[in-house]
């Protein structure tokens, strides 16, 4: 007996170029996949539907007054840092790395990794992010197991990017190869690629490592058949030079790699990424606040590289995609300002472009284009109902405009991942929030104490209910 869900009467923004926008349409979900998209799938009609449209016996979710969009894809987040949320609201990249590497990361136990990832993944789901890349350092194998378990409990689609310990010996011209435990993790947790969680390697760029290590690590990714996510080319990043050019020299550029930040990547290097089929993840809010440099949104697009969007860390950024889309739209348009103040301002980037970066292009950068990113029959039902009838979002005129320019997470009414309802009527489903809150606050205080950081200025938060 198949399980059917009929999402009825929403304004469906499919992000599929063939299907476009469908006002007042239904989405039929059968056994976790999108079976059909079109008008009146539950009635006698359905003739205009794409895909087989038998909604008999379906549970109905009323989508009237909402915009239905593909779930957002966050292409890079250090998810465990949700336990130190807002620790560094205004910091430089150097201050961030000093605090995290020297104090915070060593204070994390495997259990805190699990809890931090659980909390962070729920934060993402609450905001309509249905797929995330967890860029995850691992002090020990137990830390890695904890991080994976946290993602699994949340029920999010995630690419777990296995990383190395935080110590300085791993990050400055390091001669230490990527931890061998990656092989165990691949065999133990990711024997199948056809599950909600997939695997990648979180690697270090040339400069952070010597050439031989870069070669070893990229070879490991090929041996394991997993993608690579690498922080690349930013101001004050601890590595100088042109890491993309170095990777090119070493023959390591490939379509399995996502380059994070790239604020100082030259035009020639962007062309190299494009030629190799690689993808890029920018974290516009964090890059501006911490000073990584100006995001190169237009430069990437001009070379045919999609600058997908990421949160990076909630020590400094909110955990939602609305903030990133708006920052990217504003920055990308500002890039078109002519040097001459009297010159014409003719920006090309639109709100629809950034919605595509946050959905379709993000999915492609995770190697998941066939599975998620658009509301196309056959793909997993990863979708979000954004309310278009709240005080922030009414009246509904341009549905993509409502989502990109007006909505925030309070307007995220319903979230499905693989057809499973993770948020409904504005509330996370099946989450014991009281228990999670108590555990997170206790962990937060323990981490601060262990890290030798000042306790919370508001005192014992557990007393505030
Ligand atoms: Zn990062």
The pLDDT tens digits of the residues spanning 258-290 come to: 999 999 999 999 999 999 999 999 999 999 999
pLDDT on residue 316: 96
The protein residues having their C-beta less than 5 angstroms from ligand 1 (an ion) are 312
Q: How far is the CA of 313 from the centre of ligand 1 (A)?
A: 7
Distance separating alpha carbons of residues 217 and 215, to the nearest angstrom: 6
Q: Which of the given ranges, 142-146, 192-196, 455-459, has the highest pLDDT on average?
A: 142-146
Find the mean pLDDT for residues 76-88: 97
Q: Which of 240, 294, 238, 239 is nearest to 262 (CA)?
A: 294
Q: Are residues 119 and 268 in the same domain?
A: yes
Of 339, 365, 391, the last residue of a domain is: 365
Residues with Cβ within 8 Å of residue 2, at least 6 apart in sequence: 30, 31
pLDDT on residue 452: 85
Q: How confident is the model at residue 237 (pLDDT cuts 50, 70, 90)?
A: low
Q: Are residues 200 and 58 in the same domain?
A: no
Q: How confident is the model at residue 462 (pLDDT cuts 50, 70, 90)?
A: very low
Find the mean pLDDT for residues 242-264: 96
Distance separating alpha carbons of residues 382 and 375, to the nearest angstrom: 8
Q: How far is the CA of 210 from the centre of ligand 1 (A)?
A: 20
Q: Are residues 174 and 248 in the same domain?
A: yes
Both tokens of 335, joined, read 């890039």
Distance separating alpha carbons of residues 368 and 348, to the nearest angstrom: 27
The verdict on residue 50 lying in a domain is yes
Q: How far is the CA of 311 from the centre of ligand 1 (A)?
A: 9
pLDDT on residue 233: 83
Element (H, E) at 245: helix 243-249
Q: How far is the CA of 180 from the centre of ligand 1 (A)?
A: 22
pLDDT on residue 30: 97
Q: How far is the CA of 18 from the centre of ligand 1 (A)?
A: 34
For 6, 32, 155, 243, the CA distances from 420, given in Å and listed in that order, are 13, 7, 9, 41
Q: Are residues 390 and 356 in the same domain?
A: no
Q: How far is the CA of 409 from the centre of ligand 1 (A)?
A: 23
The verdict on residue 56 lying in a domain is yes
Q: How far is the CA of 287 from the centre of ligand 1 (A)?
A: 10
The verdict on residue 447 lying in a domain is no
The verdict on residue 64 lying in a domain is yes
Distance separating alpha carbons of residues 235 and 233, to the nearest angstrom: 7
Q: How far is the CA of 78 from the centre of ligand 1 (A)?
A: 6
The pLDDT of residue 464 is above 50 = no
Q: How far is the CA of 429 from the centre of ligand 1 (A)?
A: 29
The pLDDT of residue 123 is above 60 = yes
Q: How far is the CA of 135 from the centre of ligand 1 (A)?
A: 7
Q: How far is the CA of 36 from the centre of ligand 1 (A)?
A: 37
Distance spanning both ends of the chain, measured CA to CA: 44
Q: How far is the CA of 58 from the centre of ligand 1 (A)?
A: 42
Q: How far is the CA of 79 from the centre of ligand 1 (A)?
A: 10
Q: How far is the CA of 401 from the centre of ligand 1 (A)?
A: 28
Long-range contacts of 218-226 (CB under 8 A, 24+ apart): 218/247, 218/250, 218/252, 218/254, 220/177, 220/178, 220/182, 221/256, 222/256, 224/182, 224/183, 224/186, 224/199, 225/193, 226/186, 226/190, 226/198, 226/199, 226/200, 226/201, 226/256
The pLDDT > 90 percentage for the chain reads 89
CB atoms inside a 10 Å sphere around CB 143 = 24
Question: CA angle 456-458-463, nearest 5°?
Answer: 100
Q: 88-97, 118-127, 363-372: which has the minimum mean pLDDT?
A: 88-97
Dump strand ranges (E) for 305-430: 307-309, 383-387, 412-417, 420-424, 427-428
Q: Which of 196, 210, 266 is nearest to 422 (CA)?
A: 196
Phi-psi region of 20 (alpha: psi -120 to 50; beta: other; left: phi over 0): left
Specify the DSSP class assigned to residue 80: G
Q: Are residues 385 and 242 in the same domain?
A: no
Does 184 or 46 have the greater pLDDT score?
A: 184
Q: How far is the CA of 330 from the centre of ligand 1 (A)?
A: 22
Q: Are residues 347 and 392 in the same domain?
A: no
Q: How far is the CA of 384 from the centre of ligand 1 (A)?
A: 26
Range(s) of the domain holding residue 62:
4-69+373-428
Q: How far is the CA of 435 from the centre of ligand 1 (A)?
A: 29
Distance separating alpha carbons of residues 96 and 463, to the nearest angstrom: 29
Q: Are residues 380 and 358 in the same domain?
A: no
Q: How far is the CA of 450 from the centre of ligand 1 (A)?
A: 23
Of 329, 346, 365, the last residue of a domain is: 365
The verdict on residue 57 lying in a domain is yes
Domain containing residue 402: CATH number: 2.30.40.10
For the CA atoms of 283, 288, 290, 291, the dihedral, rounded to the nearest 10 degrees, stands at: 110
Q: How far is the CA of 231 from the centre of ligand 1 (A)?
A: 6
Q: How confident is the model at residue 47 (pLDDT cuts 50, 70, 90)?
A: low
Q: How far is the CA of 176 from the centre of ligand 1 (A)?
A: 20
The pLDDT of residue 463 is above 50 = no
The pLDDT of residue 418 is above 90 = yes
Q: How confident is the model at residue 455 (pLDDT cuts 50, 70, 90)?
A: low
pLDDT on residue 51: 64
Q: Is residue 96 within 8 Å of 64, Cβ to Cβ?
A: no
The pLDDT of residue 126 is above 90 = yes
Q: Are residues 361 and 377 in the same domain?
A: no
Q: How far is the CA of 273 from the centre of ligand 1 (A)?
A: 19
Q: How far is the CA of 288 from the centre of ligand 1 (A)?
A: 13
Number of domains in the chain: 2
Q: Are residues 190 and 234 in the same domain?
A: yes
The verdict on residue 171 lying in a domain is yes
The verdict on residue 392 lying in a domain is yes
CB atoms inside a 10 Å sphere around CB 300 = 24
Q: How far is the CA of 20 from the centre of ligand 1 (A)?
A: 33
Whole-model pTM: value is 0.95
Domain containing residue 111: CATH number: 3.20.20.140
Q: Are residues 28 and 160 in the same domain?
A: no
Q: How far is the CA of 94 from the centre of ligand 1 (A)?
A: 13
Q: Are residues 144 and 243 in the same domain?
A: yes
Of 365, 383, 404, the last residue of a domain is: 365
DSSP track, 327-344: HHHHHHHHTT--SSTTS-
Q: How far is the CA of 215 from the centre of ligand 1 (A)?
A: 21
Q: How many residues does the chain have?
A: 465
Q: How far is the CA of 101 from the centre of ligand 1 (A)?
A: 12
Q: Is residue 71 within 8 Å of 128, Cβ to Cβ?
A: yes
**Which residues are paired to 314 by β-bridges?**
none
Q: Are residues 125 and 197 in the same domain?
A: yes
Q: How far is the CA of 268 from the centre of ligand 1 (A)?
A: 23
Residue 398, phi then psi, degrees to nearest 5: -105, 105
Token pair 């974290």 is found at: 283
pLDDT on residue 461: 42
Find the mean pLDDT for residues 282-303: 95
Q: How far is the CA of 342 from the centre of ligand 1 (A)?
A: 38
Q: How far is the CA of 351 from the centre of ligand 1 (A)?
A: 25
Q: How far is the CA of 76 from the centre of ligand 1 (A)?
A: 6
The pLDDT > 70 percentage for the chain reads 95
The verdict on residue 196 lying in a domain is yes
For the CA atoms of 170, 176, 181, 182, the dihedral, rounded to the nearest 10 degrees, stands at: 80
């Amino acid at each position: 007996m198949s399980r059917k869900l009929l999402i009825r009467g929403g304004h469906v923004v499919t992000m599929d170029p063939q299907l476009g926008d469908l006002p007042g349409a239904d989405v039929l979900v059968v056994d976790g996949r999108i079976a059909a998209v079109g008008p009146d799938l539950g009635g006698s009609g359905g003739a205009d539907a794409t895909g087989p449209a038998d909604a008999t016996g379906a549970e109905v979710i009323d989508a009237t007054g909402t915009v239905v969009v593909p779930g957002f894809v966050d292409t890079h987040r250090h998810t465990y840092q949700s336990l130190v949320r807002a620790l560094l609201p205004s910091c430089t990249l150097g201050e961030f790395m000093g605090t995290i590497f020297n104090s915070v990361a060593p204070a994390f136990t495997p259990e805190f990794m699990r809890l931090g990832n659980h909390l962070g993944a729920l934060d993402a789901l609450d905001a309509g992010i249905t797929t995330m890349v967890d860029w995850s350092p691992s002090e020990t194998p137990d830390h890695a197991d904890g991080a994976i378990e946290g993602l699994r409990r949340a029920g999010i689609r995630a690419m777990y990017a296995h990383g190395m310990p935080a110590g300085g010996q791993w990050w400055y011209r390091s001669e230490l190869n990527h931890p061998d435990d990656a092989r165990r993790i691949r065999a133990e947790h990711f024997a199948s690629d056809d599950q909600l969680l997939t695997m990648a390697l979180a690697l270090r760029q040339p400069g952070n490592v010597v050439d031989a290590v870069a070669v070893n690590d990229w070879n490991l990714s090929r041996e394991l058949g997993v993608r690579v996510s690498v922080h690349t080319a930013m101001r004050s990043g601890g590595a100088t030079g042109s890491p993309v050019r170095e990777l090119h020299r070493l023959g390591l550029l490939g379509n399995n790699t996502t380059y994070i930040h790239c604020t100082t990547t030259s035009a020639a290097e962007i062309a190299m990424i494009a030629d190799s089929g690689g993808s890029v993840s920018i974290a516009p809010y964090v890059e501006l606040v911490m000073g990584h440099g100006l995001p190169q949104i237009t430069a990437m697009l001009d070379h045919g590289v999609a600058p997908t969007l990421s949160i990076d860390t909630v020590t400094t950024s909110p955990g939602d995609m609305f903030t990133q889309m708006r920052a990217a739209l504003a920055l990308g348009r500002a890039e078109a300002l002519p040097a001459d103040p009297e010159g014409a301002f003719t920006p090309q980037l639109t709100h629809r472009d950034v919605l595509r970066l946050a959905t379709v292009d993000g999915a492609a950068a995770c190697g998941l284009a066939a599975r998620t990113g658009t509301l196309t029959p056959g793909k997993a039902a990863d979708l979000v109902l954004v309310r278009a009838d709240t005080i922030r979002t009414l009246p509904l005129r341009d549905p993509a405009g409502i989502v990109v320019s007006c909505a925030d997470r309070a307007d995220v009414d319903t979230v499905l991942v693989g057809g499973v309802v993770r948020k409904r009527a504005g509330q996370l489903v099946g989450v014991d929030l009281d228990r999670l809150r108590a555990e997170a606050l206790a962990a937060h205080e323990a981490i601060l104490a262990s890290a030798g950081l000042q306790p919370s200025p508001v005192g014992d938060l557990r007393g505030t209910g």
